[in-house]
Chain A
Amino acid sequence: MIHVSTKINGDDVEFLCDPRETLLDTLRDKLGLTGSKEGCGTGDCGACSVTMDGRLVCSCLVLGAEAEGKEIETVEGIADGENLHLLQEKFIEHAALQCGVCTPGILVATKSLLEKHPDPTETQVRYWLAGNLCRCTGYDKIIRAVMETAADLREAS
């Protein structure tokens, strides 16, 4: 077993993991952070998206051991306690989800997009989210929720 010290959503975390264990499995099974979902397990669907040192990645394609010394942000870190992030409120307002399995990954990916590109075009949003598959919504409501969040965040800042 490998001993790993990392930071998750701002908290120092230590865990032991098998070398083959993915960060996704560590988050879900060891740390109780079940927001990140396993859709495909091969980096195609994006449901397990997290950021590692600010970089958007699929946690199913990161080993738990690779989290050593890194800062991980998951969907659980987006809301401030009971107060949802504007992005989350907009997803509810626009009904930008149905079954919800893809939603945590899309929220994490979108937050990462808006931090880098506060004023994205719709094309930019669609390309950025191309690795986040959704079988329910047809994407349009998601894109509208993202565009409106971006506009509101720009106004607020």
Chain B
Amino acid sequence: MQYHTPSSFDDAVAIAKDAQGVTRFLAGGTDVLVQLRADIVTPDVLIDIKKIAGVSEISREGDGWRIGVAVTGAEMTEHDTLGKEWPGLVEAMDLIGSTQVQGRATLTGNLCNGSPAADSVPAMVAAGVTVSVTGPNGARRVAVEDIPTAPGKTSLTAGEMVTAVHVPARGAHAGDAYLRFIPRTEMDIAVVGCGINLRLDGKKIIEARVSLGAVAPTVLLVEDAAKAIIGTELDDAALDALAAAASVACKPINDKRGTIEFRTHVAGVLAKRAAKIAYQRAEAAS
């Protein structure tokens, strides 16, 4: 295995373009190195991107944020203002793994690993996060929901890599939340996850995005669930419509962590709870 530490994204892409065999980008390594050690994915070329300038920075981009591709969960949690504006996004990332994993794991890694149960991904989708992608054929901007295509698969083509994560401006009267179900309190993989982001005008919801994880081959953006609460004050009827729309969108599998029936039901329950938290946060935001 070759190990490279390029100092620019251009160099990283050039290495990836010319690479023979299996190529992996290394940021926190909490998936890549597990797969390597378990002989699930044995890269021929490993490109460590952490020596590229700016990859560990969280910075303002307009009124939004630019999060570097090697920024760890711990760094997001410790940031002064990111979590005040986007508590759901930061809490979702913070749910992943242990303190030790938080010291290494990244948003971009969680996204590119392609797991439908990735905790940060529904929160990013709900927040309307986009990523910059660069590759042999140039650069493009992609919505997070368009990156995963199947379990372990992404829409990134050979030699392409994510170079930055863009979080939109929070704006006024808005809030987000992410909840997941696991059968214990820590150190587990989501059985269902739900991210909700909404904006209020007075008491009425005027914008919303609802996302579900672990209930389909990819994380879902559920537009019907958002429609169920837009224009409402999140009364009981709206919450019931939200839960119904969330459950209808589920196409889960049966596995040892949860049955199809259980996941479908819990998606609705979590959607209601996450919507209430997001609503409270939006009301509290001036």
Contacts and interface: CB of A to CB of B under 8 A. Distances in A.
Contacts of B30: 43, 61
Interface string B120-137: 000000000000000000
Interface in B123-182: none
Looking at B26, B34, B50, the one whose CB has the most chain A CB atoms below 10 A away is: B34
B33 A63 contact: yes
B74 interface: yes
B1 A19 contact: yes
A-side interface mostly: mixed
A33 B71 CA distance: 29
Interface residues on A, range: 20 to 34
A112 to B, nearest CB: 8
B256 interface: no
Interface in A45-75: 46, 49, 52, 55-58, 60-63, 65-66, 68
B37 A41 contact: yes
A53 B245 CA distance: 47
A42 B33 CA distance: 8
Contacts, number: 81
A22 B37 CA distance: 9
A22 to B, nearest CB: 7
A67 to B, nearest CB: 12
A58 B186 contact: no
B38 interface: yes
25 contacts: A19-B1, A19-B2, A19-B3, A20-B1, A20-B36, A22-B33, A42-B38, A43-B98, A46-B100, A56-B100, A56-B103, A57-B103, A57-B104, A60-B33, A60-B37, A61-B100, A61-B101, A63-B3, A63-B29, A63-B48, A109-B100, A131-B98, A131-B101, A131-B187, A132-B98
Interface of B: 1-3, 5, 26, 29-30, 33-34, 36-38, 46, 48, 50, 72, 74, 97-101, 103-104, 186-187
